Structure 1
Amino acid sequence: MDKSNKLDIAWNHLFAKYDILNEIDQNGVCKLKAEQIKEFREPRLMTKFDWSDARPKVFRENGLSVLPDSRGTYVIGKFKAYKKLEYEEVKPISVKMPEWIHSFDHFPVTSEAVALNIAQMTGMIDMIMGTNDGEPSAISTITGRLKSGELKYRIDLKDSKSPYSFSVHNSQVEIDAGFENLNNLLVIEAKNRIPQDFMIRQLYYPFRGYTNLNIDKKVLPVYLTHADNVYAFHVFEFTEPNNYSSIRRVKQVNFIADQSLAITLENVKQISK
């Protein structure tokens, strides 16, 4: 039995046992504890869907998404939880590896972590962060799993004019990369593929965590995709810090390391697929 079948079967059992669809019709959302989910399968395998197509069939058919509101509670509802990833035909900026780096001579870049290392060493990160000549280069800072602390935010629902208000207590936050220079903080969610959309929470929770530091630096949320040697930085902003749904695309900047590009964006998408 493949993973998708196991996922669908487990969620079908949960929907039946707790009458989830009726609960959502009556109250707008349904809350489940990790212990309830774990009866059928490990919660971390049941609740992390990086793009909308990864959701179980019952979620897709009913326009549902799941979000955590603590380290042990999950909320299911018709949340507008995903953002379409729009691509532009942008000519990549060519950057150079340091001449003394030979680690990548015979090894392909197959992980997000390695792609991020290359983005830093070639100056991509500094260009995105607007590091000026003469200023210290951006430094890698916070990465990995963290606790969200106390977060309150609003999120739009698909069939309601009134947003849902979340109160999050110590939910898990995963930061693929965090950088800091003199003026800005950068949080990155990185993927070695080009998805059609992405879970906004992957940028929003780290953005709120950095914003809550209350320091006089702008927080830049970036979704980085790496496919066929093209590093595409999708820069976003949240126009209202307490509004999950206020995400807005600012720009897209593409880079290529140590190569000239003779392929189009459509070629890259086909290769990624």
Structure 2
Amino acid sequence: MTKRDASWDKIAKDLDFESYNFDEAPLDLTAEQIKKSCENFVRGGITEPRILCKQDTRESRPEIFKRLGLFILPKKNGEYVIVRGEGYVDIPEITSEPKIHKSILNFTLETANIGNSEMQHLDFAYASSIIRTFTKDPSLVLTIRGRKYTPEFSFKVGKHEITTQSVQTEVDGGYEGKDSVVLIEAKNSKNSNEIIRQLYYPFRQWQEHTNKKVTTLFFQHIKDLFYLWQFEFTDIYDYNSIKLINSARFIIK
């Protein structure tokens, strides 16, 4: 049993997950409840709420969540909600041949090869104009980056309505063009799925600040290839209305 599983088993026992009717309503959970459950932990479990509640892929969920079909979402700073349903979106493998992309730059970016951070690879893709090429929008410029707190908004997950406010989100790269805003969630490793929240919360957040169309992209850099997936929410009030629109992979020559 992992330390994460040990901690969540203790929390689940204290809050009686097994008897709770998750089909009837989501279960509210606070950071204080998590700390209280784990305050006298003697089995080497994790006690930090932020770490325990970070479940970005289906596989990273604790076993009790997998068995009961649950996922967790933030509601406010220090407040969460545990929901039964599908909280993740598949990131399908791109099997088409990589598109050969010729950088718009007439010089070599020597510093782009130092380090291996997500933002570094994303910045290189943008500087080489891959983002503009994929979105077919040559007007895009970098305008958004970093952490920001969400305004209050409500949305549906299955038959349940959830209201969230002042949740911290992080956009790895946001680009504004003449008619649209493009938000990117970036990874420098291969993920086969991702929690929808990583795309949905920033999407709803920035919808509040612009009348332009907000587009969400998922980005991965693996070896020398740059992967991009474009998603759309067909109903902005429905967490599960996410739909894959386009995908491609590029190699820069």
TM-score strictly above 0.5? yes
Number of equivalenced pairs? 242
Q: Does 1:179 align with 2:175?
A: yes
Compared with structure 1, are the counterparts of its residues 253 and 30 closer, same or farther at alpha carbon in structure 2 (3 Å cutoff)?
A: same
Unaligned runs of 5+ in 2: 39-46
Aligned pairs (5 A) from 1:11-160 = 11-25=8-22, 27-39=24-36, 40=38, 41-97=47-103, 98=105, 99-104=107-112, 107=114, 110-132=116-138, 137-156=139-158
Q: Identify the range of structure 1 (84-93 vs 65-74) with the bigger mean alpha-carbon deviation.
A: 84-93
What is the SS of the residue equivalent to 2:110? Answer: coil
Quote how far apart the aligned CAs of 1:93 are: 2.0
Compared with structure 1, are the counterparts of its residues 180 and 214 closer, same or farther at alpha carbon in structure 2 (3 Å cutoff)?
A: closer
2:214 corresponds to: 219
2:160 corresponds to: 164
Maintained 8 Å contact 1:220/1:236: yes
Quote how far apart the aligned CAs of 1:26 are: 7.7
Unaligned runs of 5+ in 1: 157-162, 259-273
1:264 corresponds to: none
2: CA distance, partners of 1:26 / 1:192: 36
- Code of the residue aligned with 1:24 in structure 2: it is N
Q: Does 1:192 align with 2:188?
A: yes
How big is each residue's C-alpha offset from its partner over 1:93-151, in whole Å with a ceiling of 9 and x where there is no partner? 2234531422245x4x622111111111100111133224xxxx422122222111111
What is the SS of the residue equivalent to 2:32? Answer: helix
2: CA distance, partners of 1:25 / 1:205: 22
- Same amino acid, percent of matched pairs: 30
TM-score, reference length from structure 1 = 0.83
1: CA distance, partners of 2:204 / 2:231: 13
Quote how far apart the aligned CAs of 1:198 are: 0.8
2: CA distance, partners of 1:104 / 1:149: 35
What is the SS of the residue equivalent to 2:157? Answer: strand
1:202 corresponds to: 198
Q: Does 1:243 align with 2:238?
A: yes
Aligned partner of 1:230 among 225, 229, 241: 225
What is the RMSD computed on CA atoms of the aligned residues? 1.7
1: CA distance, partners of 2:144 / 2:151: 15
How big is each residue's C-alpha offset from its partner over 1:211-239, in whole Å with a ceiling of 9 and x where there is no partner? 11242x21110011111211111001001
- Code of the residue aligned with 1:125 in structure 2: it is I
2: CA distance, partners of 1:52 / 1:206: 20
1:267 corresponds to: none
Maintained 8 Å contact 2:189/2:222: yes
2: CA distance, partners of 1:27 / 1:73: 20
